[in-house]
Amino acid sequence: MDFVVPAVLPTSHEDLEKKLALFAQLPSVSRVQIDVVDGKFASPASWPYSAPAELHDMIERGEMLPDTQCLEYEIDLMCFDAEAAAGDWLALGATRLTFHAESITDLPRLLASLRKRYGGGTDLTLSSLVSFGLALNVGSDVALIEPCLGEIEYVQFMGIATIGKQGQPFDRRVLENVRIFHERHPEVPMQVDGGVSETTAKELLALGVSNLIAGSSILRAKDPAAAVRAFEALRSPYGV
């Protein structure tokens, strides 16, 4: 489970609910990534930055993300106010938060603050409830995140040059980033987000990637369930 993680970049609350309902019907899907774009760190702005009052109203009403009994939610925080946004998404039922290293001025301080408030990372008492990861843009050096590896549970490598938009072409520079990182830190789970297709997935898995984050290749497929099954079929040949 969680080998293939569908991703949604919501244009509205209604759009989010529609796509999450689709993912909830796919038997092999147990984790979904919601891409959150503030229009500043990355653009264009996605929901809820396009309608911030709607998110706040949901929290005030005590609403949760749908189908939490069968879906685990990972929030990809492509925003400068990621620390503040983290609390909102956890209140809605998210259990995994991905922070972009380039959007944070002081990564150690951020992670220490998150651990104190929410657990996760090396806090074994709460790490099963909340997980934190760091994302790295394709043009960034892996050295940017290496001092913080003891405080997170996974690393997400971006596979596209322009983040915040689905359907972008795969940037092959990510292959070298993954190779270097895995050689240095084979114990750290890696996932790749952006440009993931059946073809690129084979190369990524051969380099030790644990999870494939796939947005447009699933949502734009004629048969999303078949698209997920095609990714799942890659497990055995690549030793996943």
In the predicted structure, residue 2 carries a pLDDT above the cut 80? no
- Say what the pLDDT of residue 63 is: 95
Quick one: average pLDDT of 11-17? 97
Quick one: average pLDDT of 15-24? 96
When the candidates are 3.40.50.2300, 3.20.20.70, 3.90.550.10, 1.10.10.10, the CATH number that belongs to 4-234 is: 3.20.20.70
What percentage of the chain has pLDDT greater than the value 90?
A: 88
Please check whether residue 120 is in contact with residue 114, taking contact to mean a CB–CB distance below 8 angstroms: yes
Chain-centroid distance, C-alpha 148: 18
Please check whether residue 35 is in contact with residue 78, taking contact to mean a CB–CB distance below 8 angstroms: yes
CA dist 92 and 74 (Å) reads 11
- Say what the pLDDT of residue 27 is: 87
Quick one: average pLDDT of 26-37? 95
In the predicted structure, residue 220 carries a pLDDT above the cut 80? yes
Neighbours of 100 (CB within 10 A): 22
Quick one: average pLDDT of 78-88? 95
Pick the closest to residue 124 from 104, 105, 159, 151 (CA basis). Answer: 151
Model's pTM, two decimal places?
0.93
User: Considering only 62-76, 101-115, 117-131, 148-162, which range has the smallest mean pLDDT?
Assistant: 117-131
- Say what the pLDDT of residue 22 is: 95
Residues counted in the chain: 240
Please check whether residue 76 is in contact with residue 99, taking contact to mean a CB–CB distance below 8 angstroms: no
CA dist 155 and 95 (Å) reads 16
In the predicted structure, residue 24 carries a pLDDT above the cut 50? yes
In the predicted structure, residue 237 carries a pLDDT above the cut 60? no
